[in-house]
Chain A
Amino acid sequence: MYAMGRQTTGQKLRSKARTINALLVRELMVRFGHGNIGFMWLVGEPLILTIGVMGMWTLLYGEQKHGVKIMPVVLTGYSTLTLFRHIISRYVNCFRDNAGLLFHRSVRPVDTLIARGLLETVGVLIAFFVAYIPMRLLGYFDPIYDYSLLLSAWFLFCFGISGFGMIVACICQMSETAERFVQPMLYLAIPATGSFFMVAWLPESAQKIVLLSPLVHCNEMFRAGYFGPSVATSWNGWYVVTWALVNNAIAWTLVKRTQRHIEIS
């Protein structure tokens, strides 16, 4: 199983997949354990929060704003924000939490990151649908317009954020002080995510500024998939793709160097 080299690429990929699968299930167990509602809690957590925020927003601002029902906007925005926050904060702690696992020859620090990322990607997406489906059945929500666009937006977004998260995790691994800036940064970044507004709501001058943020493009793309052409969205697919690829390219080179510095106490 561990003989030096001589593994085909196929074998290597399969064994990596096995490793990440094992780590994924472990992450699941660790976060949501046996004693609670089990793995349903994974989706329950974002759902409860989403419904709560949605309720509050509707109470404060009424059902429609700018010609769009507010709740789907909040749902989509909150989902992407949740993913953003979860991935960044959980990536930052990942190396430390999983340092002990490095004794297993097949586990590399980057595998633990991927496992966490996958968990969040799928989990928050499921939470989104768990909130959407009842609302749709009760007639409060319109049906999703374009699933393929919706899902490609989501996965592209997750891919990009994962890359960004990796970079942050590596920086925090190398420097202790950097870690303290992460939480404040997350809060300060909220306007830049475009989760709580749509670009169309803003004056043109503001729009130009806001469209510099790739996260805004992701949110707009996601909403475009949800609402369809009935709602004005502005996004550039290639901008998002470029951002995601560049992020991940930097992330992977950084992670390779950082892995050498990880030490078990």
Chain B
Amino acid sequence: MTSSAPVLPVDLEAANAPIRKNSIAIRNLVKDYHTPTGTAHVLKGISFDVQAGEKIAILGRNGAGKSTLVKLVGGVERPTSGFIYRGMSMSWPIAFGGGFEPTMTGLDNIRFIARLYNQPIRETIERVDDFAELGKHLMSPVKSYSSGMRARLAFALTLAIDFDCFLIDEVISVGDQRFQRKSHEALFEKRKHCAMILISHDIGIIRSYCDRAVVLKAGRSKVFEDLDFAIQIYSAL
């Protein structure tokens, strides 16, 4: 059901909220893609805020526009209209891995990130090695890693930089139980003070850590302060 008529944002409250300085503010995000079969209106006016230290969940069915939203929030693509105010430093999506170059070794990839973000190289390598526990494998090219190893490296890289806000997509459940515990600890305990945008289907995690939720449906969004209510609606989508 596509139409070019301008549509009022569904969540007027979120769209008109004042923007605080150290926050990430999304306002009236619209994203259209031009496909051979016509224009696809993927996002039709998304608005929400993330304040410093706040954890917000993004809930929605596959195809509701979550991955597009991640790309826009992460700064990879520009929205068709609307804007994103970035008052805090934000990580890349954790699963993305910082732009791994498969032919480069794990170490070289770490060095690249360290240089890019102006972090001391030696220290960064230590932090990543300590977390990902890849040992000798760091000296082999990334293309020889299993998907689990790749995910661990990606995760470790994201944690190596002191971001104010973490963009977390599905990947937190990677690795064995011990690693998962480690990941949870690293994110939700050691970085309790950081803001997070959590995109997950895992209701348990969302209930435990998030303060608010945004439900995404057919490219439209609504912010909920009541997490349980949001989860109820999401479960019935």
On whether A and B touch (CB less than 8 Å), the answer reads yes
A23-55, CB < 8 A from B: 23, 25-26, 29-30, 33-34
Min CB distance B88 to A, Å, is: 8
Q: Are A103 and B118 in contact (CB under 8 A)?
A: no
Q: How many residues of A contact B (CB 8 A)?
A: 29
Selected from A4, A18, A33, A264, the residue in CB contact (under 8 A) with B115 is A18
CA distance A107 to B117 in the complex (A): 10
Whether, in the assembled complex, B120 has its beta carbon less than 8 Å from a beta carbon of chain A, the answer is: no
Q: Are A264 and B111 in contact (CB under 8 A)?
A: no
Q: Are B111 and A25 in contact (CB under 8 A)?
A: yes
Q: Are A29 and B87 in contact (CB under 8 A)?
A: no
Q: Are B76 and A30 in contact (CB under 8 A)?
A: no
Q: Are B118 and A102 in contact (CB under 8 A)?
A: no
A82-121, CB < 8 A from B: 98, 100-107
**Of A26, A98, A264, which is in contact with the most chain B CB atoms at under 10 Å from its CB?**
A26
Selected from A19, A23, A105, A263, the residue in CB contact (under 8 A) with B90 is A105
Chain A hits for B101, CB < 8 A = 26, 29-30
Chain B hits for A25, CB < 8 A = 111-112, 115
Say whether, besides A4-B86, A25-B111, A30-B104, A260 and B78 are in contact (CB < 8 Å).
Answer: yes
CA distance A23 to B101 in the complex (A): 12
Which residue on chain B has the smallest CB distance to residue A4? B87
Q: Are B105 and A34 in contact (CB under 8 A)?
A: yes
A248-265, CB < 8 A from B: 260, 262-264
Partner-A contacts on B (CB < 8 A): 71, 74-78, 85-90, 92-93, 96, 98-101, 103-105, 108, 111-112, 115-118, 141
- A–B Cβ pairs within 8 angstroms, 28 of them: A1-B118, A2-B89, A3-B89, A18-B115, A18-B118, A22-B112, A25-B112, A29-B101, A29-B104, A29-B108, A30-B101, A30-B104, A33-B103, A33-B141, A34-B104, A100-B100, A102-B75, A102-B76, A103-B75, A103-B76, A103-B93, A103-B99, A104-B99, A105-B75, A105-B90, A107-B116, A262-B77, A264-B77
